[in-house]
Amino acid sequence: MDYASTRELVAALQAGTLSAAELLERSIARIERFDPELNAVVVRDFERARVAARAADAALAQGDRRPLLGVPVTVKEAFNVEGLATTWGIPGTGQPAAAEDAVLVRRLKAAGAIVIGKSNVAMQLADWQSSNPVYGTTNNPWDPGRTPGGSSGGSAAALAAGYVSLEFGSDLVGSLRVPAHFCGVFAHKPTRGLVPMRGSAPPGTPSLSADPVFDLAVVGPMARNAADLALALDVVAGPDDAEAIAYRLALPPARHAALADFRVLLLDAHPLVPTSRAVRSALRRFGDGLEGAGCRVGRSSPLLPDLSRLASLWGQLLWAQLGADMPGAEPGISHRDWIHADRVRARVAHQWRAFFQQWDLLLCPVAPTPAFAHDHGEMAARRLRIDDLEIAYQDQAPWSGIATLTGLPATVMPIGLSDDGLPVGMQVIGPYLEDRTPIAFAEAAERAFGGFVVPPGYRS
C-alpha cells in the first residue's frame, strides 16, 4: 500500500476497502519513521489533514467520486497553502502565513486531495540541492550522502520514500526534472502556461492572476508512474481565472499509444557539457530496447536546433530574468536586447515545429550524472566530477534548457540504475502543447521495460 499508485488508491477508496483516514495515518506514520533521516516534508499540517480525511470518508460514503478524493499529497514549500508559511528557504520570511491557496493547491483540494504538508526546497529555489537555513538539508533515499536534487528535491524524496503517491513542484532550470532523475521517480514539466503559477511566487510577492514570476518557469506534477502524471495534469491544468472567462483547455490526444508507433530521436551527448558513462550507457540500453520493440529510433537529424546556440540564448534570457530580482545584480541585458533575443527564441520555436513534424519526441539526459554528493560550499567554487573530468558546478545546466527555452513539455522517467546503484532518468521532450504525447510514451515504455524501483531500506 505504501507504494500503490494514485489510481490504485482512488479505486480502493471508492470501493470502500480503504478509508481516507486509514490512508492518511499510513502516510503520517511513514513520514515520522523515515523523515528524521531524509528531512523531506518540512512543513506538516497533520491535524487539518485528519479533519479533511474524515470529511472525505463521509463524502465517499455518499457517492462522491471526485478524481483525488481522500488521497494524501504533499506539495513543494514554494506553493502557498492557506494558513501555512511560505519561505522559499529564506530566513526571516513566511510571516504572515499565506492567506489563500495557490491555484494549483486550490485545484487539488477541489479534486478531493488532502494536502498533508510541504516538502523542502533549495534556498530561493536556486540549486540542484535542497538545503536552506530555514529547514536544513534533504537527503536522497538512495544514499543519504547525496542530494535528491533541487529545487523540488523534497518532493522527489517524499515520493521515493513512499510517503505519498503524488507531489507537485516547479521547474525553471530542471527543478522538477533533476530531482526525478536523481531519485528514480517520474515528473512532468508542462508546456509553459499550461498550469497557472499564481500562488508560487517568492514570499511577500503579490499573488497576481496571469502574471507568472518567470517567463521560463512552470509548475507541474511528480509521481511514481506515468499514468498518475496524466491524472494529476488533468486536475491542475487549465487557464487561470482571468483567462477562464474566455478560454478552455483542449489538449490534443497523444500521437500514439503503442511503443512501436513512436518516432524518437535519442541524444546522449551535448556539445557544451560532458555526459557521464553511467547516463550514456543507460540511454543506449534504453534505445536498444526501443528498437527491439519496433520503435523508430534516430541518433541525429538535420532538423534538430543547434544545441550550443539554444543554450546560449536560454542562458541570456534566464540570467536577465533572475538578475531582475537580485539586489545589487548587474542589469544583465537591456529591454531592447531582450526583445531581440526573444525574436530569436521565436525562430527556435519554429525550428522545433519542423522537427516535430518528422519526429514525435526527443529523448535525452536530464543531467550529466546521477545524484552527486552534498556540496554546500560557495556555489561559484563548486566543482562537479563527470567520470575523469571536472566542470564548474553551474555548467551542468544545458540539458535542462532544451525544453525550457521555448516552453516545450518534458516528461522524466527512470530507465535504470548505474553501476553504483543510483537511479538514472531520461527526458522525453514533446511538441508544444502536446503534453499527452511524452506522458503516453513514458507510460508505454514503463509497461515494456519497467519504471520506478523502491530504494533499498524503504521496502517495508
Q: Give the pLDDT confidence of 12-30 residue by residue, as tens digits.
A: 999 999 999 999 999 999 9
Proportion of the chain above pLDDT 90, given as a percent: 92
Q: Give the pLDDT confidence of 305-327 residue by residue, as tens digits.
A: 999 999 999 999 998 888 776 66
Mean pLDDT score, 242-268: 96
Cβ atoms of residues 308 and 348 within 8 Å? no
Long-range own/partner contacts, residues 244-251 (CB < 8 A, 24 or more apart): 249/194, 251/433, 251/434, 251/435, 251/436
Q: Give the pLDDT confidence of 127-150 residue by residue, as tens digits.
A: 999 999 999 999 999 999 999 999
* Residues 6 or more apart in contact with residue 413 via CB below 8 angstroms: 186, 226, 425, 426, 428, 442, 445, 446, 451
* Position 62 pLDDT exceeds 80: yes
**pLDDT at 213 (0 to 100):** 47
Mean pLDDT score, 249-265: 98
Q: Which of 84, 252, 228 is nearest to 166 (CA)?
A: 228
CA 306, 186, 228 angle in degrees (round to 5)? Answer: 125
**What are the strands, taking DSSP E only, across 244-298?**
263-266, 296-298
- Say how far apart CA 13 and CA 68 lie, in whole Å: 10
pTM of the model: 0.97
Task: Tell me the C-alpha to C-alpha distance, in Å, between residue 299 and each of 264, 275, 304, 362, 396.
Answer: 9, 16, 11, 10, 22
Average pLDDT value over all residues in the chain = 96
Q: Give the pLDDT confidence of 258-297 residue by residue, as tens digits.
A: 999 999 999 999 999 999 999 999 999 999 999 999 999 9
Residue 308, number of CB atoms within 10 A of its CB:
12
Q: In what order do the strands lie in the sheet with 410-417?
A: 41-44, 114-119, 72-76, 166-171, 218-223, 186-189, 410-417, 423-429, 361-365, 263-266, 296-298
Q: For 295-374, where are the alpha helices, taking DSSP H only?
A: 307-323, 335-358
Q: Percent helix, strand and coil across the chain, each rounded to 5?
A: 40, 15, 45
What is the residue-wise DSSP string for 401-457?
Answer: HHHHTTT--EEEEEEEE-TTS-EEEEEEE--TT-THHHHHHHHHHHHHH----PPTT
Amino acid at the residue 54? R
Q: For 177-236, where are the alpha helices, taking DSSP H only?
A: 177-183, 226-236
Cβ atoms of residues 77 and 119 within 8 Å? yes
Helix (H) or strand (E) holding 364: strand 361-365
**pLDDT at 206 (0 to 100):** 81
Mean pLDDT score, 100-111: 97
Cell 481516507 sits on residue: 20
Instruction: Tell me the chain's radius of gyration from C-alpha atoms.
Output: 21
Q: Give the pLDDT confidence of 192-221 residue by residue, as tens digits.
A: 999 999 999 889 888 776 554 458 999 999
Proportion of the chain above pLDDT 70, given as a percent: 97
Cβ atoms of residues 359 and 255 within 8 Å? no
* Position 51 pLDDT exceeds 80: yes
- Say how far apart CA 397 and CA 315 lie, in whole Å: 9
Mean pLDDT score, 172-190: 98
Cell 527555452 sits on residue: 405
Which residues are annotated as catalytic?
Answer: 76, 151, 175
Mean pLDDT score, 67-77: 98
Q: Which of 323, 172, 285, 159 is nearest to 228 (CA)?
A: 159
Q: Give the pLDDT confidence of 359-389 residue by residue, as tens digits.
A: 999 999 999 999 999 999 999 999 999 999 9
Mean pLDDT score, 99-108: 97
**pLDDT at 324 (0 to 100):** 72
* Cell numbers representing residue 107 in the block: 485545484
Cβ atoms of residues 152 and 169 within 8 Å? yes
* Position 40 pLDDT exceeds 90: yes
* Cell numbers representing residue 237 in the block: 491544468
**pLDDT at 1 (0 to 100):** 87
* Cell numbers representing residue 26 in the block: 499510513
Q: Give the pLDDT confidence of 409-432 residue by residue, as tens digits.
A: 999 999 999 999 999 999 999 999
Cβ atoms of residues 126 and 119 within 8 Å? no
User: 56: which strand partners?
Assistant: none
Task: Tell me the C-alpha to C-alpha distance, in Å, between residue 388 and each of 276, 369, 396, 418, 421.
Answer: 9, 12, 15, 16, 19
- Say how far apart CA 171 and CA 313 lie, in whole Å: 18
Mean pLDDT score, 78-94: 97
